Structure 1
Amino acid sequence: MIKLLRNYLFWTYERGSFHYDVMVTLILLFLFVGPRFIDFKDKPVETVALQSSEVLVKAAGSNEEGNLFVYQIRAEDMHGAATDSDRQAAILRVIEPISGGVTLERYEAVHDAQGKTIAYNAWVLR
């Protein structure tokens, strides 16, 4: 048994042998199944469009009414929208030339580390 474990550890089996196939299968299982059961505590980095003419679009699923997308719009593109209705109108002004007629479901501000609003995430039904 110790010899078997040592051979697995030092990868001494020939390619195409049963033990080689077992090792490759275990590695592939770890790569593809491991992230579902192991919490690596990684978090995605918030990305904001680099240029004012860019809008970041992510698919957010679908429901019975249509497809849901998240549009990330830079705060500078909102052009001084102070009230809630002004912000909704500004968001639609930016999004509609890109994707046509849409329905704004909700939106929320994206803040940087200092708490300054740098962008808005808008959930849009298309």
Structure 2
Amino acid sequence: MGRILKSYIFWTYERGSFHYDVMVTLILAFIFVTPHFWNYGDHPSVGSFAPSEVVVRAAGENAFTYQIPAEQVRGNSSAPFEDRLEQSIGRISGPMVIDHYDTLKDASGKVTAYKVWAHR
């Protein structure tokens, strides 16, 4: 048993042999299975974009979602909130009708951005 384990550690088996195939299978299993059970902490952070950057995604025919940084919406505090959202979107896509919006917060509860669903 010790000799087999030593051969596995030093990878001494010939390619195509049973033990070689077992080693390759174990390595592939480790690569593809462990991310489902182990958190490597390599997820992108939410709201990590520039204060002037707006993320736009298609959400159907003539419908879009916008992720607008909170700093950009806070710019003109005298206008109503939905008007400020429309202004931010209008600079990018022209006149749009806002369907609804959600507030995006970081782990501490601070508002980082707004996700807006809009259509033409």
TM-score when scaled to structure 2?
Answer: 0.62
Q: Is the 8 A contact 1:48 1:72 kept in 2?
A: no
1:73 is aligned, of 68, 71, 96, to 68
1-side partners of 2:64 and 2:4: how far apart?
A: 53
The number of residue pairs the alignment matches comes to 115
C-alpha distance in structure 2 between counterparts of 1:102 and 1:80, whole Å = 20
Matches within 5 A, 1:6-21: 6-21=6-21
- Pick aligned residue for 1:91 from 82, 85, 105: 85
Mark the CA change 1:100 to 1:82 in structure 2 (over 3 Å): closer, same or farther.
closer
Whole-angstrom CA distance in 2 between matches of 1:82 and 1:34: 52
Highest Rg: 1 or 2?
A: 2
Distance 2:31 2:94 in 1: 37
RMSD (Å), alpha carbons: 3.7
Gaps of 5+ in 2: none
**What is the aligned-residue identity percentage?**
37
Structure-2 change in CA distance of 1:23 and 1:112 (3 Å): closer
TM-superposed CA distance for 1:122, in Å, is 0.6
Give the direction of change, closer, same or farther, for the CA distance of 1:55–1:33 in structure 2 (3 Å limit): same
Deviation at 1:108, TM superposition (A): 0.8
Check the 8 A contact 1:56/1:71 in 2, yes or no.
Answer: yes
- Give the 5 Å matches for 1:1-126: 1-36=1-36, 38-40=37-39, 42=41, 44-50=44-50, 52=52, 54-57=53-56, 71-78=66-73, 79-81=75-77, 86-95=80-89, 97-98=92-93, 101=96, 103-111=98-106, 117=111, 119-124=112-117
Superposition TM-score, scaled by structure 1 size: 0.60
Q: 1:26 to 1:77 in 2, by over 3 A?
A: same
Deviation at 1:31, TM superposition (A): 1.3
For the structure 1 residues 69 and 44, does the alpha-carbon distance in structure 2 shift closer, same or farther, using more than 3 Å as the test?
farther
Once residues 118 and 38 of structure 2 are traced to their aligned partners in structure 1, the CA distance between those partners, rounded to angstroms, is 32
Structure 1 gap ranges (5+): none
